[in-house]
Amino acid sequence: MTDPSLLRKARTLTEALPYMREHAGKSFVIKYGGHAMVDDALAEDFARDIVLMKQVGMNPIVVHGGGPQIGKMLERLKIESSFIDGLRVTDKATIEVVEMVLSGSINKSIVGSINKIGGQAVGLSGKDSNLVIAEPLKRTRKDPDSNIEKVLDLGYVGYPSQVNADFLRTFEKTDVIPVIAPIGLGENGETYNINADTMAGAIAGALKAERLLLLTDVVGVLDKDKNLIADMNEEEATALIDDGTIIGGMIPKVETCIKAIHDNVGASVIIDGRVEHALLLELFTEHGAGTLIKN
């Protein structure tokens, strides 16, 4: 008798085959962060998923975060941090630590994990080959007494203004998997810290990627009854923000997804990175593994 577990594996492969054909040769930008990045078992699953994507002819591009690791290093170095609207105010001392942690220890750890599994990853930041040119991110706040809007100084916090998509396309016909730290280069050579979701969205838009996939620490976008919304369009997503269903940190993630769609990305997906092989479940199964946002 054939082992039932082997039959299940065979059925899984046959289910995945049409999706592999559909996705072959297309670019997928994956934002990697949160719990999935600090849990060793999930990190290994992620590396295997990325290598498999490349092996079947897809072009995965990984953009990673690292906020908690940055916070720990700043604390060790006794450098105080402050936040405005969830963004770390980044002075000259802080940006040096941010770049060291993101482009150094975190980036190389992810590259090492992928290479250990059998992939060929290369670590980059937005400063390499002018990959991402950044401008200062501006935030304003209205004074409650005078009703005058004040421009807030976030220091070296940036926003992607240009992406060198041609440079990334050079990897498409190779076995190399780019792993990108969210550091940008200013027009005058400054170093900017960029939100990883925003960086991934900008890169996906520049490449007109098939998918932008944001790995998070929640199951996806939930309705008012806390049930997962499997898919929605831009109009529905905007309505859920307006009526208060989508709140807090999910708002900028959904807005990043919507902007990517405006930039001709095929679709954006918010995925629970705490689930084993979440990427494969989303890309190679009928039901997916998160909330898909499309036109």
Q: Who contacts 8 (Cβ-Cβ below 8 Å, separation ≥6)?
A: none
Mean pLDDT of the region 110-135: 96
Q: 17-21, 61-65, 185-189, 268-272 — which is least confidently predicted?
A: 17-21
Q: Could you report the per-residue pLDDT of 81-109, keeping only the tens digit for each?
A: 777 777 788 889 999 999 999 999 999 99
Q: Could you report the per-residue pLDDT of 190-199, keeping only the tens digit for each?
A: 999 999 999 9
Model confidence at 59, in pLDDT bands (50, 70, 90)?
very high
Model confidence at 260, in pLDDT bands (50, 70, 90)?
very high
Q: 205: which 2 tokens?
A: 């838009």
What is the per-residue pLDDT for 67? 84
**Buried-state track 101-111, b at ≥16 Cβ within 10 A, e below 16:** bbbeebbebbb
Q: What's the fold here for domain 24-218+268-279? A: Carbamate kinase (3.40.1160)
Q: How far apart are the C-alpha atoms of 75 and 80, rounded to whole Å? A: 7
Mean pLDDT of the region 241-257: 91
Q: 69: which 2 tokens?
A: 């690791």
**Mean pLDDT of the residues in the chain:** 90
What is the per-residue pLDDT for 148? 66
Per cent of the chain over pLDDT 70 is 95
